[in-house]
Structure formats: C-alpha cells, structure tokens
Amino acid sequence: MSAGTALVTGASSGIGAAVAAALVRRGYTVYGTSRDPEKVNDPVEGVTYLALDLSDDASIEACAAAAGPVDVLVNNAGESQSGPFEELPMDALRRLFQINVLGAVRLSQLVLPGMRERRRGRVVMVGSMLASFPLAYRSSYVASKAAVKGFAHAARREYAGYGVGITTVEPGSIATGISERRTQYVAEGSPFRAAYDTMLAALNANEARGITAAKVAATVLAAIEAPRPRPLYAVGSNAPLVFALRRVLTRGAVERMVARRHGLR
C-alpha cells in the first residue's frame, strides 16, 4: 500500500533525486519534475517524471494537474546565482525570483487546497543556510531563499489547524556539483573582482567538502514524517553549532564569522 503521493521538484539530480529515492523507499507514489523528463540522465527507479518549467505559469499549472492530489510537496528546484550587488542584471534577478520563489509559491497554492480539504499534507521548502547567514556577493540568492522561508513561516499557521505542515529545510554546503551550474554576473573591470574571486574559491571548496545529498534528503524526510514539523530544519556546515552561536553572538559577529569562512574580511 502506498504511503501517499509525493511531488518533488528538481528531481533529476542532487537533493531532489535523493529525496525522491528516499520517498520511494518509504512506499510513496513519487512524481519528480524536470524541465525535460526525456533528458534525465540517471532517473530514479520508481519515480514518474513530469515536465516543469518554474518560469512558466502554464507549465506549473500543467504539472500540478498531471500529479493530481498529493500528500507531500517538496519545493526543491531552483537556481544558484552570485555576483556583486550593483552588477546583478535586473532580468537575471527577475528570473531567479520567478524560479526560486514565485514558482514554488504558485505550485504550493495549487496543491494546498486539496491537502486542506483532506486535512493532511506536508509542504517542504528547500532553502539554504545562507538565508540565515548571509554572504557577500550572494545577495540575490540569499534574498530568494529568505523569501521562500518567509512565505513558509507565515503560511504555516494558516494550515496547521487543517493537519497540513509547512516547513523549511536549510542545507549548508552540499557536494552536489551545484558550483558548476551557478549563474554568475560580474562586470568587466569590476572593482569587486578580487574579493568576489576569493569568496567564490572558498564557496566552491566548502561545497566540495560538503555533506551528501542523501544526508539532506534524510532531514527532508524527517520534516515530512514529524507529527508536528518544526518551522525550520538545518543540516550541514556544523548547523547545530553555528545556529547556537547565532543566538548568543551579535549580528556583526555572525557576519564576520561568515565572511572569514569565505576568505573575506
């Protein structure tokens, strides 16, 4: 017997693929999404792939319709972006927020009414620890993940009385090869080039040493299966220690700690 139906966005690789595989093992009927399901290089056994382009509202609606009623939605798909604040192109910012924030919000809006009516369900937003520990030259990505967390935190009380849990999982550094897919915007002759390159080298090194996608998936699964999921789960990058330090250190001290971890002053 199926444990229920789950929809996992961005399930062609990385965290999404690991979450989809974990849910299959738990007995869920799992739909995973990809921009082009026919081009998924290493499909997860037991997962049915649906097309989803988060920059296209019609695609989002078609995906929700194809999946039908779902008990679990994991909003994992997204884009990583970096660049000096003043050099980020507005069209790139709009695309990032459409994919990372508005697309996830719209898909959630489409599946939540069914969860509310059935009085059960879980929505997990896959964010980033950078939303809690902002990093220079990552402002657009930080802001997009903070926005996703904000939506989840505010909306969770609206649905708690209906048996529906909404939560955010914030991974730290993850070894998924995301550094190779990150979009970057740095102007030629940028005065920020040296500091940006320093940050990026440290960021890539931290990610190469990061936790596995499977470890993040285990945390996502814990959030899904908790009787009363917490608002926030963090995993990787010494999350228990750094969140404890965040509670006792000043904001300035935390900012300096994050900067030093990335080679900045």
Cα distances (angstroms) measured from residue 91 to each of 71, 88, 181: 35, 9, 18
CB atoms within 10 A of CB 252: 8
Which residue is associated with the tokens 């970057």? 184
Tell me how far apart the alpha carbons of residues 50 and 9 are, in angstroms, rounded to a whole number: 9
CB 81 within 8 A of CB 96: yes
Answer yes or no: are the C-beta atoms of 75 and 7 closer than 8 Å.
no
- With 0-12 / 13-18 / 19 or more C-beta atoms within 10 angstroms meaning exposed / middle / buried, residue 257 is middle
As annotated, the active-site residues are 141
Whether 172 and 211 have beta carbons less than 8 Å apart is answered as yes
Cα–Cα distance for residue pair 120/228, rounded to 1 Å:
12
Neighbours of 153 (CB within 10 A): 15
Q: Pull the structure tokens for residue 89.
A: 């192109």
Mind giving me the DSSP string for 81-101?
A: EE--GGG--HHHHHHHHIIII
Residue 77: count of CB within 10 angstroms of its CB: 26
